[in-house]
Structure 1
Amino acid sequence: MNDLRRHASKRCFRGIARAGMFVALLGLAACSSTSDDADLATTDIPAEELYNQGLALRNEGRFREASDKFAELDRYYPYSEYARKSLINVAYVNYSRSKYPEAINAAKRFTTLYPGNPDSAYALYIIGQSYFKQIPDVTRDQQNTQRALSAFGELVQRFPDSEYASDAETKIRATEDQLAGKEMEVGRYYLKRDNYVAAINRFKLVVLNYQTTRHIEEALFRLVESYYALGVINEAQTAAAVLGHNYPDSQWYKDAYNLLQTGGYSPESDGGSWISNAFKGINVL
């Protein structure tokens, strides 16, 4: 009798377990259905109306709300013309809120999705401006400076007639000046420690890549200093000659001339020098 009771009890337990599993499966199915419904959620508001709502919020200076509205439009109408317009607005409102990483991401997404669209010029401008706003002082890493230069350079190359090209060219000169300043700062560091070869390599980058910046005169003088200290007189003379030819009234040239005079030398250009070749056909005045 006891064995029968135990056997019946086991059958009952298995039945309850099966019923529990069935209920659980029903629950999972319900959850899955709910999740699918959420994924397929739609709005009755037309794309144009959502876009106009976003524009109104943007024009009122309510940038966070505008950004949310444009993102909502992109979610509901991802391949529409208004989604494209919203994306460039997302970049703009994030830039206006000083949310530069978000602005950059939205603008980069726009240029990827719509590379031939005229608004890509504005997207590149936002990218460049966002990096430009984050440029640190010359003693720190200049990665953002380089990225700003790249974005502005692409803008000028691809859209030379756009309304943003002129300001982009101005920012290119500013970023190049910053990058040259960084090379000069590092070069002077090595020069003070008598590491002349390392110093020359830094000043050489300025002469080769940033000839139109305000640092070019000092870079040429520092090359005179460094080569003279190493005893490479012909390169020191060439650097002084190039400096005197392009900036005859510069104090840097006067200092270079006086330095060579202490050893009985004078500025003299060597046509085979990399310095002479770097300035061939280039007017830096």
Structure 2
Amino acid sequence: MSMKHLLLVGLFALLAACSSNTKTLDESLSESELYSMAQEDLDARNFGPAIEKLRALESRYPFGRFAEQAQLELIYAYYQNMEPEAARSSADRFIRLHPQHQNVDYAYYMRGMASFTRDRGIFERFLPLDMTRRDPGGARDSFNEFAQLVSRFPDSRYAADARLRMVYLRNLLAAYDVHVGHYYLKRGAFVAAANRGRYVVENFQQTPAVPDGLALMVEAYNRLALEELANDSLTVLRANYPEHPSLEDGEFLHHVEPAERDAGWVESMTVGALDKLLTPPREGGTTVAEREMERQYQDARAAIPSDIRTPVYEQQRGRSWLNRLTFGLFD
């Protein structure tokens, strides 16, 4: 028998073993028993089994006294189990079915949280990656969903946290546009780079990306030989951000994105996931926007009441190198 066939046989045997070990929930379990068992799993952070029991409770007792609470806790369990799409879908369903529920604000909040972490895959969760360089689709969705929460429930206990996350997300989106502008510069698309810088300045006022957007405009207009526009942008930059890295004694330097380098085979193989592990640290090796964004976010986190901090976020902080390397498998 060839090695290929042996591997197939082994795979089927493993699948059969896994399926044989799968326990089905007793059909005779009452609503209270199912809910109690789900609570025990949630308390023990066994989110997979908790999801199974909560789904069983909802399907067997759709009009029971624990049904609505089980739907809310199912959102939480999916989120904690790193299934953001399922959490978002469950939150949408709860909002649609119970728009007047006293805790519907929690569903709005968790829907925003699910989008907040949607772009953070396995590498982003365990490695210190720069999210301003990733696809901002989840960030945009999360911002809009938190905005709905704040608009509909301004006095919700989750509104303060949502507002702080909106500040962070707006800064992140602005920094992402700055990165896009630098990409256009590198590709020689100077008109597109200038337009992107102007977009940041016009649409993301009071974010730390504004001076980077102005510097982008100056650089792009200089490359296009549009001296008047370049000088106007430079005048604004000098007057408002004299300490910007692109200025030296008031003179504009040739401005390129910090930490710019050619992508090698490692980056192309990992989609940049190992950037910060393989690259020696640099003093101030990030844009002004990124440094200020991180500072604002950390200040905002410190101001959030401890009883509504998101457990998953808190767990990611302070991980040891062994925990990151093994993805927490040996905790």
TM range (shorter): 0.5 to 0.7
Q: TM-score, normalised by structure 1?
A: 0.67
**Aligned pair partner of 1:77 in 61, 65, 82:** 61
**Aligned-partner SS, 1:179:** helix
Residue 79 of structure 1: how far off its partner (Å) = 3.6
> Superposed, which structure 2 residues align to 1:136-215 within 5 Å?
136=120, 137-215=131-209
How many Å separate the matches in 2 of 1:222 and 1:89? 46
Q: 1:91 to 1:239 in 2, by over 3 A?
A: same
8 Å Cα contact 2:201/2:213 also seen in 1: yes
Residue 72 of structure 1: how far off its partner (Å) = 1.7
How many Å separate the matches in 2 of 1:189 and 1:201? 13
How many Å separate the matches in 1 of 2:240 and 2:101? 43
RCO higher in structure (CA 8 A, sep ≥6):
2
Aligned to 1:4: none
List alignment gaps of at least 5 residues for structure 2. Answer: 1-26, 121-130, 254-331
Q: 1:256 to 1:83 in 2, by over 3 A?
A: farther
Q: Which amino acid aligns with 2:241?
A: Y
Q: 1:218 to 1:46 in 2, by over 3 A?
A: same
> Superposed, which structure 2 residues align to 1:88-127 within 5 Å?
88-127=72-111
Q: Which amino acid aligns with 1:128?
A: G
Aligned to 1:135: 119
**Aligned-partner SS, 1:228:** helix
Q: 1:81 to 1:66 in 2, by over 3 A?
A: same
Aligned to 2:47: 63
Aligned to 1:17: none
How many Å separate the matches in 1 of 2:202 and 2:104? 31
Q: 1:81 to 1:158 in 2, by over 3 A?
A: farther
Residue 216 of structure 1: how far off its partner (Å) = 1.0
Residue deviations 1:195-242 (CA, integer Å, cap 9, x gap): 221111211221122222221111112112222333434433332333
Aligned to 2:123: none
Residue 255 of structure 1: how far off its partner (Å) = 7.4
Residue deviations 1:19-68 (CA, integer Å, cap 9, x gap): xxxxxxxxxxxxxxxxxxxxxxxx77654554344334322333223222
List alignment gaps of at least 5 residues for structure 1. Answer: 1-42, 260-285
Q: Which amino acid aligns with 1:221?
A: A
How many Å separate the matches in 1 of 2:240 and 2:32? 60
Greater Rg by CA? 1
RMSD (CA atoms): 2.7
How many Å separate the matches in 2 of 1:88 and 1:179? 30
How many Å separate the matches in 1 of 2:249 and 2:166? 30
**Aligned-partner SS, 2:66:** helix
**Aligned-partner SS, 1:138:** helix
> Superposed, which structure 2 residues align to 1:12-23 within 5 Å?
none
**Aligned pair partner of 1:239 in 233, 237, 240:** 233
Q: 1:138 to 1:248 in 2, by over 3 A?
A: closer
How many Å separate the matches in 2 of 1:211 and 1:151? 21
How many Å separate the matches in 2 of 1:255 and 1:233? 20
Residue 173 of structure 1: how far off its partner (Å) = 1.9
Aligned to 1:40: none
Residue deviations 1:52-96 (CA, integer Å, cap 9, x gap): 443343223332232222212211222445211110100111112
Query: Equivalent pairs: percent with the same residue?
Result: 32
Residue deviations 1:80-113 (CA, integer Å, cap 9, x gap): 4521111010011111222222212211211121
8 Å Cα contact 2:246/2:252 also seen in 1: no
How many Å separate the matches in 2 of 1:196 and 1:253? 20
Aligned to 1:230: 224
Q: 1:131 to 1:224 in 2, by over 3 A?
A: same
- Of the structure 1 ranges 245-254 and 114-123, higher mean CA displacement relative to structure 2 is found in 245-254
Q: Which amino acid aligns with 1:98?
A: M
8 Å Cα contact 2:185/2:193 also seen in 1: yes
**In the comparison of the two structures, how many residue pairs are matched?**
218
**Aligned-partner SS, 2:133:** coil
How many Å separate the matches in 2 of 1:220 and 1:67? 49
How many Å separate the matches in 2 of 1:217 and 1:44? 65
8 Å Cα contact 2:34/2:54 also seen in 1: yes
**Aligned-partner SS, 2:218:** helix
